Amino acid sequence: MSSEHVADACHAWFEERILEGVRSAYGTDVPVYGGSAADDDLTGRWRVFANGNVCREGFLLVGLSSLQPPMGSFLGGFLPTEHCGTITKVDKRRVVEIDGQPAALVYNAWTGALLRAS
């Protein structure tokens, strides 16, 4: 079986550059699936693993080809709740406000005060 499936995994904020390269080489008809390696606080302690190697920076790109249509799935730990809000302010990828209120306060209220004061 052959396929045309491209997957990427790289450090945070670099994926857009990788995807631009894939698009410039293959166009927009190639399905792309992937994710980022990151740590909890985005301080740069992420790692990429491939072929027994561990890298602090980099990406993994896998190409496959198939006569069957590509399929993908995603698991991100998301569970729906009754809470809903609109993101009203961001700083790059960080949500700063939800519904005009500090995001941490809103999220803390939604989760029953799971966040610690800091």
Q: How many domains does the chain have?
A: 2
72, part of any domain:
no
Query: Range of 89's domain?
Result: 79-113
- Helical (H) or strand (E) element with 8: strand 5-11
Tokens of 34: 């992937």
| Residue of higher predicted confidence among 3 and 77 | 77
33, part of any domain:
yes
| Lowest mean pLDDT across 1-5, 57-61, 69-73, 87-91 | 1-5
CA distance linking residue 96 with residue 16, whole number of Å: 22
**Average model confidence (pLDDT) across the chain:** 77
> Which residue has tokens 């693993």?
49
Q: Region 50-71: what's the mean pLDDT?
A: 78
Q: Are residues 60 and 9 in the same domain?
A: yes
- Chain center to CA of 23: 18
